[in-house]
Structure 1
Amino acid sequence: MRTTSVGVVRIATKGPGDVSGLMTMIDSGAIDPNDILAVLGKTEGNGGVNDFTREYAVAALCTALAPHLRLSPQEVEHRIAFVMSGGTEGVLSPHITVFTRSRADQGTAGVAGKRLSIGMAHTRDFLPEELGRSAQIAETARAVKAAMGDAGIADPADVHFVQIKCPLLTSDRIEAAGARGNKTATTSAYGSMAYSRGASALGVAVALGEIAPDIRDEDVLRSHDLFSSVASTSSGIELMHNVVIVLGNSASSASEFEIGHAVMTDAIDSAAVIAALSSVGLGIAPQATAGRELVNIFAKAEAAPNGSVRGFRHTMLEDTDISSTRHARAAVGGLIGGLAGTGAVYVSGGAEHQGPPGGGPVAVIARLPD
């Protein structure tokens, strides 16, 4: 029985505070604000610790949605999952992707196959000394399973993308841990982003049975053979817990959309991007396959930690002017943009334990024919 209907729309933005596109769709009735479950966005910041475009974008969206939902902006932020990924280097274009979920209407009896479904869950707040360690892994695994239940997905094989927003360390948080006699995984705020992303990704892998649950603290950022093929994690200063969004296909969904994925083995793996497009019945640009329409592509990118791509040396890790995550986003964004025919794709940097070293998952959402 089809119980839910999931919608997804990509909206271009003129800046991190631009909500005009979303408000236009709400005013026209194209989007019911009460149905919004999650918003994933790309903002034109630097993607680092001091990337305040993420918080600015969330604040603008919460303020704009508050009157429509009859809630305070703070209540909106607790009700809707906002995941902003900073950094639109190269051809990447700032945009938001809005996911809605509502009850399926009675006219969905003819819907066949599994369709796009979405679920959400939160972990508890973490102590600073728990970030990048087994506590974060275990709590994330629990939240992923809860989000799968919320999405109506029982089989891990039907999960195609797990987006997580996770915390990072600041000097105040590191000092607070020290005052309790505890040490954090790192004393670098920037380095903590990788620890948090990596531990969160390992939590996804544990929840989906991709790896065994006996992960040690020292495996984080060291055991590169341990990874999830569907995890996408992004660190931010604005929270101390993990927000987990599971995207997959479910027989309980009457959505007109479908999601599939593949795994890039390195930053120039065009075959994987083509395979991800093919998994939802699409070809490379221009996509005109059986009336199907590309909605968005979600991918992770990182500079290969061994310093080479297919035997040739890269300099992304040695550039003291530009962060390697910015290099990687630009490279992978250009590759995917060329194959997709658009730069308005969601490419997030920092793929620790998210796909094999130097690679990462790539998921595609397509609208199906009427």
Structure 2
Amino acid sequence: MQAFVHRLSMRHPGDVSSLDALLAQERLAVADIVAVIGKTEGNGGVNDFTRGYFTQSLMALLARHGGEPAEALLRRIPCVLSGGCEGVLSPHYLVIGRRRAAASSRGPALAVGVAMSEPVPPQDVGRAAHIASVAQTVRRAMADAALERPDQVHLVQLKVPALTMATLNPLRAAGLAPVSDDPNKAMALSRVAGAFGVALALGETTLDAEALADAALRDFGCFSHRASVSSGVEVACNEVIVLGMSQAWQGPLRIAHRAMADALDAPAVHDVLDELGLLKGRLQPAAEDAARVAGVLVKCEPDRRGHVRGQRHTMLDDTDINAQRHIRGAVGGLVAGLLGDGRVFVSGGAEHQGPDGGGLIAVIAAAEALA
């Protein structure tokens, strides 16, 4: 099996013309597409409808080219979107797929697996049952990628449901208590459930789902090193994409990752780029090496202690600009500056995803000899 990734730019949140051209030219087939990860220019909050707009446009396009109903495509292709293109971040999306490999050579190479859970009941969102559901779905995605060991996994990208007043009010009317009456806090706790579900599936914790739920937004020493979780009103289930390295897979693509200790952790970014042979002693990749990059995925979080490396930051005190927008712009600029490219998937809301106040970075690139 061989994975492929197309990184495509967009002119607006509903622009799928670049993918339309690839499909029309028969450079890829709808049947081979297994996941999409994208960065749209919305606000990244509960009411960011750019994510749903892109998903609707994408599925309509795939239905037209592949003949499969959009409803069926939604059930098999995870579409993980993060809103907010602050600063130099550029709207784009990664089309991820796999096909039978023609070559006889073997890996290690990029491995891709996907899975979707059953819809998560609103009263379970952000709670132990949600954590257990994510863990089960991650294990299914690993099996789909033929990744037999947790240490083969480099990144688990998830989309989990968010609660709105439209779902909170019926819950209360039915005598059911949501995880929080605040949609924004419920959104954060849903992301936490995703992170802890990954930690549970990958053996990154010895706690069970109930104990992990008790640690949510309390014990920040408990986190997943490889989870990147987004939450949105456009999904009702857990959508999981597992990316790893396996000897059973072929092709030029490789993936590397690092935890980012904080928002200034340029060495972590440098180490990932260097591991993939992209820097060669340079501060930024040369044009021919930059062309080998297929995707850059980052998770980040404003340090809740109010300082970075001993110096005070104001992200949490700013009532004009949301802290998540600050951190996406800051870390996005850091990574884009080292990469020389603004097409970086940077998602805020990294609660229990990487070290507290930090996050993680994963880069997919073609091996030089096969580029």
* Amino acid in the other structure paired with 1:278: D
- 1:30-179 matches, within 5 Å, as 30-105=27-102, 108-111=103-106, 113-179=107-173
- Label 1:306 to 1:350 Cα distance change in 2 as closer, same or farther (>3 A): same
Structure 1: distance between partners of 2:142 and 2:286:
30
**What is residue 217 of structure 1 aligned with on the other side?**
213
* Amino acid in the other structure paired with 1:75: A
**What is residue 343 of structure 2 aligned with on the other side?**
344
Measure how far apart 1:287 and its partner are.
4.1
* Amino acid in the other structure paired with 2:61: A
Instruction: Pick the aligned partner of 2:268 from 251, 261, 272.
Output: 272
Structure 1: distance between partners of 2:86 and 2:291:
29
Q: Deviations over 1:2-24 (max 9, x none)?
A: xx111001001101111110111
Measure how far apart 1:110 and its partner are.
2.8
8 A contact 1:261–1:279 mirrored in 2? no
8 A contact 1:137–1:202 mirrored in 2? yes
- Give 4+ residue runs of structure 1 displaced > 6 Å after superposition: 288-292
8 A contact 1:307–1:315 mirrored in 2? yes
Q: Deviations over 1:134-173 (max 9, x none)?
A: 1111111111111111001112111111000001111132
8 A contact 2:88–2:332 mirrored in 1? yes
8 A contact 1:282–1:288 mirrored in 2? no
Structure 2: distance between partners of 1:79 and 1:147:
12
Structure 2: distance between partners of 1:85 and 1:122:
18
**What is residue 309 of structure 1 aligned with on the other side?**
308
Measure how far apart 1:291 and its partner are.
9.7
Measure how far apart 1:293 and its partner are.
1.7
Indicate the SS of the match to 1:246: strand
8 A contact 1:138–1:203 mirrored in 2? yes
Residue 20 of structure 2 is aligned to residue 23 of structure 1? yes
- Label 1:69 to 1:311 Cα distance change in 2 as closer, same or farther (>3 A): same
8 A contact 2:278–2:290 mirrored in 1? no
Structure 2: distance between partners of 1:290 and 1:325:
31
Q: Tell which deviates more after alignment, 278-287 or 295-304.
A: 278-287
In structure 2, the gaps of 5 or more residues are: none
- Label 1:269 to 1:192 Cα distance change in 2 as closer, same or farther (>3 A): same
**What is residue 300 of structure 1 aligned with on the other side?**
299
Q: Deviations over 1:262-304 (max 9, x none)?
A: 0100001001111121232222522478898222210101100
Q: Deviations over 1:22-73 (max 9, x none)?
A: 1111112222222011011100000011111000000001111102111222
* Amino acid in the other structure paired with 1:229: H
In structure 1, the gaps of 5 or more residues are: none
- How many residues end up aligned between the 2 structures? 364
**Structure 1 vs Structure 2 CA RMSD:** 1.5
Structure 2: distance between partners of 1:223 and 1:180:
32
* Amino acid in the other structure paired with 1:51: D
Residue 223 of structure 2 is aligned to residue 227 of structure 1? yes
Q: Deviations over 1:86-133 (max 9, x none)?
A: 00000000001000111122xx2234x310011011122112221111
Q: Tell which deviates more after alignment, 171-180 or 330-339.
A: 171-180
